[in-house]
Amino acid sequence: MSTTGQIIRCKAAVAWEAGKPLVMAEVEVAPPQKHEVRIKILFTSLCHTDIYFWEAKGQTPLFPRIFGHEAGGIVESVGEGVTDLQPGDHVLPVFTGECGDCRHCHSEESNMCDLLRINTERGVMIHDGESRFSINGKPIYHFVGTSTFSEYTVVHSGQVAKINPDAPLDKVCIVSCGLSTGLGATLNVAKPKKGQSVAIFGLGAVGLAAAEGARIAGAFRVIGVDLNPKRFDEAKKFGVTEFVNPKDHDKPVQQVIAEMTDGGVDRSVECTGSVQAMIQAFECVHDGWGVAVLVGVPSKDDAFKSHPMNFLNERTLKGTFFGNYKPKTDIPGIVEMYMNKELELEKFITHTVPFSGINKAFDYMLKGESIRCIIPMGA
What is 182-320's CATH superfamily?
A: NAD(P)-binding Rossmann-like Domain (3.40.50.720)
70 classed as catalytic: yes
69 classed as catalytic: yes
Query: Considering 35, 65, 69, 132, which one is annotated as catalytic?
Result: 69
Query: Considering 117, 122, 127, 221, which one is annotated as catalytic?
Result: 117
Give, for all 379 residues of the chain, the pLDDT tens digit: 689 999 999 999 999 999 999 999 999 999 999 999 999 999 999 999 999 999 987 677 899 999 999 999 999 999 999 999 999 999 999 999 999 999 999 999 999 999 999 999 999 999 999 999 999 999 999 999 999 999 999 999 999 999 999 999 999 999 999 999 999 999 999 999 999 999 999 999 999 999 999 999 999 999 999 999 989 999 999 999 999 999 999 999 999 999 999 999 999 999 999 999 999 999 999 999 999 999 998 887 889 999 999 999 999 999 999 999 999 999 999 999 999 999 999 999 999 999 999 999 999 999 989 999 999 998 6
372 classed as catalytic: yes
284 classed as catalytic: no
Backbone phi, psi, residue 259, to 5°: -70, -35
Give CA separation, 347 vs 51, 88, 343, in Å. Answer: 22, 29, 10
Query: Considering 35, 132, 142, 177, which one is annotated as catalytic?
Result: 177
What are the boundaries of each domain within the chain?
A: 8-174+345-376, 182-320
The pTM of this model reads: 0.95
For residue 160, give the H/E element and its range: strand 160-162
Local structure of 181: helix, strand or coil: helix
Query: Considering 35, 36, 99, 271, which one is annotated as catalytic?
Result: 99
Q: How far apart are CA 228 and CA 309, in angstroms?
A: 32
Query: Considering 36, 113, 156, 320, which one is annotated as catalytic?
Result: 113
Query: Considering 38, 44, 47, 153, which one is annotated as catalytic?
Result: 47
Query: Considering 90, 105, 186, 315, which one is annotated as catalytic?
Result: 105
For residue 64, say if its preceding peptide bond is cis, omega within 30 degrees of 0.
yes
8 Å CB contact between 214 and 185: no
8 Å CB contact between 177 and 205: no
- As beta bridge partners, residue 72 has 43
Q: How far apart are CA 141 and CA 133, in angstroms?
A: 7
Among candidates 175, 216, 172, 168, which has minimal Cα distance to 192?
A: 216
48 classed as catalytic: yes
8-174+345-376 and 182-320 agree in CATH topology:
no
Q: How far apart are CA 324 and CA 334, in angstroms?
A: 13
Q: Does the domain made of 8-174+345-376 have the CATH classification 1.10.10.1590?
A: no
